[in-house]
Structure 1
Amino acid sequence: MLGVGHSEALKHWNNNAMVEAGGRRLLIDAGYTIKFALQDLGLGLADVHAVFITHAHADHCFGLERLGYECRFQHGFRPTLYLPPGVYEELWEHTLKGVMGQVGEGPAELDDFFDVVLLEDMSFEFEGIQFQLFQNQHTPQKPSYGLFINNHLMFSGDTRPIPDLVEKFTPEVILHDATLSDWNPVHASVRELRETYPFEVRQRMHLMSYEDNFEQHRLEVESEFAGFVRQGQEFAL
């Protein structure tokens, strides 16, 4: 986990992850703190080979500007960019085009910076690791996705509770979005997670994307769930 913080958090960077396999690295999201998060691991943008974007919010995609520019103009390569259905339009036309659509050589497109792969069949493979996409329950009418990885680990992405999907996939490890506020229209609160999921499921559930005041909730979370995901924590796939 490169970072575990909520979009408003100042600690622990944006909630972004990294998969390492076959000597290559795939980012799950690239928010505006991605360079700091990679630096904490002794890595830089040139060490990133591919990215999957769950949805077009700043703490999940604003790092693509730096990644695209630096890989193209400093390092001379295009990382692979995996995009789920509906995300391309929001990401390029409404988010990145204003800052990346014009360069010194003239007009530019997203494909000038990345090897763009549109995931119409809701799955992809990276260095032998299998990724199955699912639409989660984040902002209404906004394309937003989570991942079920290697038939083992569920990465929820930003979402409200998704018990039907947890029941469908039966993951052994669950990394679930959680806000520490009493209620949020686009994120699952700890209270809602406790009320929605059986205890047996919560024991496999690690909470991520939380606010800076998480220490105030540590005892409750550790007694009811597997605990908070920690920045830098590793999970086997």
Structure 2
Amino acid sequence: MAELTMLGVGHSEAIDHWNNNAMIEANGRRLLIDAGYTIKFALRDRGLTLADIDAVFITHAHADHCFGLERLAYECRFRYDFKPTLYLPPGVYEELWEHTLKGVMGQIGEGEAQLSDFFDVVLLDGAPFEFEGVELAYFQNRHTPTKPSYGLMINNRLLFSGDTRPIPELIAERHPEIVLHDCTLADWNPVHASVQELYEQYPAELRQRLYLMSYEDNFEQHRSQVEQEFAGFARQGQVFDL
């Protein structure tokens, strides 16, 4: 049996929830979908530590999705003595290592270091990959213009949008049973989908299968509308069968 747990559901500015990261568990092993700067707190809430993580998939190089990799890298190397697997879709390696992590991880006590000194790096080539029998097919979404950024279709059942503007045609062609979709509670945002845009661009039948994630702290003001028009807000710690 495989399942996905929402480790956090918060917007990058949120303090009431952890970063919008998730975890797949299958056959006793665990894959993170993103590892933001709150990842240790999120795992603690589930009774886990970084030593319990076997692999990570990074959707894109923004702090609330990848800054936890520095802590995961150091603790797994120097405290737990193992290398997690790091799955990177096309274009993410360059932004993640050369422009994000190298400044803090490129030099250690033993000398110069590479990302591969901390992780078993798997550079994905566009094809789906598997983790413990769970199929993960990734696709370019619509986040920051020209930035490599991805969503996931998991086991042909659950679509995890990643940070994105509305992507109605990408969802329609995949026919997911469940959708976990990025949203902002602001009226408009250049790199996130607003609740109003999701209401206008997604049909009612799909909205009833769509859970909103990555939301701001004022979500209670929007709960009634969201629960009426969508499946609701994804909850921190909520589990979805895969």
Q: How would you bin the TM-score normalised by the shorter chain?
A: over 0.9
> Is the counterpart of residue 163 in structure 1 residue 164 in structure 2?
no
Give CA deviations for 1:20-54 in whole Å, capped at 9, x if unaligned: 00100000000000000000011000000000000
**From 123, 129, 146, the counterpart of 2:151:** 146
Q: Partner of 2:115 in structure 1?
A: 110
Give CA deviations for 1:158-183 in whole Å, capped at 9, x if unaligned: 00000011111010000000000000
Alpha-carbon distance, 1:192 to partner: 0.2
Q: Partner of 1:41 in structure 2?
A: 46
Matching residue's letter, 1:182? D
Q: Which runs of structure 1 show a deviation greater than 2 angstroms over 4 or more consecutive aligned residues?
A: none
**From 84, 87, 92, the counterpart of 2:89:** 84
Structure 2 Cα separation of the partners of residues 206 and 60 of structure 1: 19
> Is the counterpart of residue 181 in structure 1 residue 186 in structure 2?
yes
Structure 1 Cα separation of the partners of residues 126 and 120 of structure 2: 18
TM-score w.r.t. the length of structure 1 is: 1.00
Structure 2 Cα separation of the partners of residues 110 and 46 of structure 1: 18
Give CA deviations for 1:159-217 in whole Å, capped at 9, x if unaligned: 00000111110100000000000000000000000000010000000000000000000
> Is the counterpart of residue 54 in structure 1 residue 59 in structure 2?
yes
Q: Partner of 1:67 in structure 2?
A: 72
Q: Partner of 1:123 in structure 2?
A: 128
Give CA deviations for 1:98-153 in whole Å, capped at 9, x if unaligned: 00000000000000000000010331100000000100000001000000000000
Give structure 2 stretches of 5+ with no counterpart: 1-5
> Is the counterpart of residue 23 in structure 1 residue 35 in structure 2?
no
Matching residue's letter, 1:135? Q
Structure 2 Cα separation of the partners of residues 122 and 174 of structure 1: 21
Q: Partner of 1:229 in structure 2?
A: 234
Structure 1 Cα separation of the partners of residues 45 and 168 of structure 2: 34
Structure 1 Cα separation of the partners of residues 199 and 126 of structure 2: 33
CA contact (8 A) 1:30 1:51 kept: yes
Q: Between Structure 1 and Structure 2, how many residues are aligned?
A: 237
CA RMSD for the aligned pairs? 0.4
Give structure 1 stretches of 5+ with no counterpart: none
Q: Partner of 1:213 in structure 2?
A: 218
Alpha-carbon distance, 1:12 to partner: 1.3
Structure 1 Cα separation of the partners of residues 127 and 229 of structure 2: 32
1:169 aligned counterpart, secondary structure:
coil
2:191 aligned counterpart, secondary structure:
coil
> Is the counterpart of residue 132 in structure 1 residue 137 in structure 2?
yes
> Is the counterpart of residue 32 in structure 1 residue 40 in structure 2?
no
CA contact (8 A) 1:84 1:122 kept: no
